[in-house]
Amino acid sequence: MLTKTTQTALSYLQGFTTLSADTFLRYLSPTASHRFAPSSLSPPSPMSPEAFANHLEGLREVLSGFPVSAKEIFDHEEKGQVTIWATSEAEFRHEVKDGGITEDEWAYKGEYIFIFTMDETGQKIVDIVEFLDSLGTERLRGLMARARKNLQVKRD
């Protein structure tokens, strides 16, 4: 049986399937912080729930989803923390793809480590540290830039 803290963390990760800000916000405390690591990637500053929702809106322009699946879960309920080793797959919108690269090249799969810290109820997240796949993230940034450029060309 899953603990409350693990259920909350997994429910939060389900939000990546559709990139719906409402799903994420449902599980975040009003003062929550979402931080990206490692620093070698020059990640953005820690994000408030509102800033993370805005970040998602930017992703939704070019992605229809970004499903995240847990590989391993480490529950530290007594500390109010859950660590999840996860994988993901970027689902680029058809209209942002171009024929310059193959479907296989548009396919992106990444690995992550999420560290969730919960409030005393175990039902609200107060802090998230998301460790990104350094090499994969650089590739994803390139694909995102290409998709945004293609979108802009279609808008013009």
Alpha-carbon torsion (133, 32, 75, 70), positive or negative: negative
Q: The pTM is what?
A: 0.92
CA distance 118 to 105: 37
Question: Which fold would CATH assign to domain 4-155?
Answer: Nuclear Transport Factor 2; Chain: A, (3.10.450)
Please report, for residues 20, 129, 146, the alpha-carbon distance to residue 39 in angstroms, rounded to integers and kept in the order given.
Answer: 27, 12, 24
pLDDT at 4: 94
74: Cβ contacts below 8 Å, ≥ 6 apart: 82, 83, 84, 85
Q: Is 20 helix (H, G, I), strand (E, B) or coil?
A: coil
Please report, for residues 25, 47, 82, 116, the alpha-carbon distance to residue 122 in angstroms, rounded to integers and kept in the order given.
Answer: 15, 21, 10, 10
pLDDT at 156: 82
pLDDT at 1: 85
pLDDT in tens, the chain (156 residues): 899 999 999 999 999 999 999 999 999 999 999 999 999 999 999 999 999 999 998 999 999 999 999 999 999 988 999 999 999 999 999 999 998 999 999 999 999 999 999 999 999 999 999 999 988 999 999 999 999 999 998 888
